[in-house]
């Protein structure tokens, strides 16, 4: 099965049975967390992936409880993929954290504002629909397949419709905090997928990494595209664009890029695939 899940990612079956899910395929379903137990299971999965697998550095408090926790967890919605067929107990095997603009404005703003200047994007959103920040995305290794990813996207698509979202955005990561390792990928994104000025978040100067490290003529676009992480490739397939500048995140051992996705760029064929009359199955 690959990297093993622990009991910490399990959720009581009776708790899940009492709450709705968005869609189900076989023993997997996608849903929004409605309890602290579900959120704790998502935090445990995030810890396994970000800290144990990917080499991020936890705080002492996180290491004690073996959960990835921050202040935003209390105000975000948590999208979960749950596998009901494991060791007699359901387990959270995939998760996304969702933060709507109206909620962010009532609290401490967007998480991404700690890495990027969002002022132009926020100003633009006044006439183009609410913003939705996507974050803390991860899937357990044995579930990194089309079924799990499709369920996550089906959940996101349902959420977009419910809340009339105009743009989705967030930070996506290139593993390894040395920008030299990612010169081709960063340059490819800059030359081929840079967002227009009104949507172009700028990396904050203290950790800013130039993305146009190589001239366009020197890039093997096909090879650079193939080298991108699956999550970024998935975003690009639905019309994503990137901000200006990478951001070195030493805690998470990554170079982050800002990704912005206008919802109206998601084609009707794609939306129809993930949102339909049977979403309440």
Question: Within a domain: residue 45?
Answer: yes
pLDDT one-digit tens code per residue, 41-64: 999 999 999 999 999 999 999 999
Number of domains in the chain: 1
Q: Are 175 and 229 in contact (CB under 8 A)?
A: yes
Averaged pLDDT score across all residues of the chain: 90
Question: Could you tell me if residue 279 is inside a domain?
Answer: no
Residue 138 belongs to some domain of the structure: yes
pLDDT in tens, 12-27: 999 999 999 999 999 9
Residue 236 lies inside a defined structural domain of this protein: yes
The set of residues, in sequence order, having a beta carbon less than 8 Å from that of 240 and lying 6+ positions away, is: 193, 232, 259, 260, 261
Residue 90 has pLDDT above 70, yes or no: yes
- Residue 280 pLDDT exceeds 70: no
Contact 174, 211 (CB under 8 A): no
Q: Domain range spanning residue 206?
A: 7-274
The CA–CA distances, whole Å, from 23 to 183, 250, 274 equal: 39, 37, 10
Domain assignment present for residue 82? The answer is yes
Kindly indicate the confidence band of residue 281, based on its pLDDT and cuts at 50, 70 and 90.
very low
Q: Is residue 43 part of a domain?
A: yes
What average pLDDT does range 250-257 have in this prediction?
Answer: 92
Predicted local confidence at residue 4, as pLDDT: 64
Percentage, residues of the chain above pLDDT 90:
74
Q: Is residue 280 part of a domain?
A: no
* CA distance readout (Å), 66 to 60, 144, 234, 246: 10, 22, 29, 29
User: Looking at residue 199, which CATH number applies to its domain?
Assistant: 3.40.630.30
Record the tokens describing residue 103, joined without a space.
């909620």
Fill in the DSSP letter of residue 76.
S
Q: What is the pTM of this model?
A: 0.90
Greatest CA separation found in the chain? 58
Give CA–CA dist 271/238, Å, rounded: 10
């Amino acid at each position: 099965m690959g990297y093993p899940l622990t009991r910490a990612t399990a959720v009581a079956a009776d708790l899940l049975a009492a709450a709705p899910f968005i869609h189900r395929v076989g023993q997997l379903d996608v849903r929004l967390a409605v309890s602290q137990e579900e959120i704790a299971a998502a935090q445990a999965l995030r810890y396994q992936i970000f800290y144990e697998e990917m080499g991020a550095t936890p705080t002492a408090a996180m290491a004690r409880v073996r959960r990835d926790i921050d202040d935003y967890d209390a105000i975000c919605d948590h999208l979960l993929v749950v596998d009901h067929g494991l060791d007699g107990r359901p387990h959270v095997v995939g998760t996304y954290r969702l933060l709507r603009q109206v909620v962010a404005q009532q609290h401490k703003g967007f998480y991404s504002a700690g890495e990027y200047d969002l002022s132009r994007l926020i100003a633009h959103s006044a006439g183009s629909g609410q913003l939705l920040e996507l974050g803390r995305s991860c899937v357990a290794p044995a579930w990194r397949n089309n079924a799990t990813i499709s369920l996550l996207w089906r959940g996101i698509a349902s959420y977009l419709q419910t809340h009339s979202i105009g743009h989705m955005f967030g930070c996506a990561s290139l593993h390894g905090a040395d920008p030299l390792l990612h010169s081709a990928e960063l340059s490819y994104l800059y030359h081929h997928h840079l967002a227009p000025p009104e949507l172009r978040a700028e990396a904050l100067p203290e950790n800013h990494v130039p993305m146009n490290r190589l001239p366009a003529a020197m890039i093997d676009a096909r090879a650079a595209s193939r080298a991108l992480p699956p999550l970024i490739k998935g975003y690009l397939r639905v019309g994503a664009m990137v901000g200006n500048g990478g951001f070195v995140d030493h805690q998470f051992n990554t170079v982050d890029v800002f990704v912005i996705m206008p919802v109206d760029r998601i084609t009707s064929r794609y939306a129809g695939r993930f949102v339909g009359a049977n979403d309440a199955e």
